[in-house]
């Protein structure tokens, strides 16, 4: 099923990706959680949200594989860039958290929760 507001949903996905890049590269990112290694949970949540969102837009198995591969690649690339900045650090465990989050988001999109955008569009249709 094709989404009627495909471009809107896709733009929101690009905004999410941009926010992840921005927060990953800013010198002092916000830290809403403050327990040990809480940043791993934040990484996993961010990448799960992005992959869950995009997997609702790209429905074929091949498209989803490309999306998940790109999201994991983004997480790996950002870790290297962080290491080069001089004010952020490289952390392999962040890569694992990003990858786990991307896979969790894909998994959620494979459940009935993966029809959230379609549900929203159905609710927006005039009756």
Q: State pLDDT tens for residues 65-106.
A: 999 999 999 999 999 999 999 999 999 999 999 999 999 999
> What pLDDT was estimated at residue 34?
81
Q: Which residue has the higher pLDDT, 89 or 1?
A: 89
Q: What is the CA radius of gyration of the chain?
A: 16
Q: How far is CA 84 from CA 15, 95, 111, in A?
A: 24, 16, 39
C-alpha of 42 from chain center: 11
What are the domain boundaries of the chain? 38-124
Q: How far is CA 51 from CA 17, 24, 26, in A?
A: 10, 17, 22
SS3 label, residue 99: helix
């Amino acid at each position: 099923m094709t989404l009627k507001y495909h471009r809107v949903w896709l733009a929101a996905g690009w905004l999410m990706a941009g926010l992840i890049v921005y927060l990953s590269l800013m010198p002092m990112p916000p830290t809403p959680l403050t327990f040990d290694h809480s940043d791993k949970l934040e990484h996993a949540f961010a990448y799960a949200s992005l992959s869950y969102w995009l997997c609702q837009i790209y429905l074929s198995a091949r498209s989803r594989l490309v999306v998940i591969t790109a999201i994991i690649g983004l997480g790996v690339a950002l870790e290297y860039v962080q290491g080069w900045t001089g004010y952020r650090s490289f952390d392999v465990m962040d890569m694992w958290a990003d990858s786990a989050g991307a896979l969790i988001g894909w998994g959620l999109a494979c459940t009935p929760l993966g029809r959230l955008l379609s549900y929203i569009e159905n609710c927006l249709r005039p009756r």
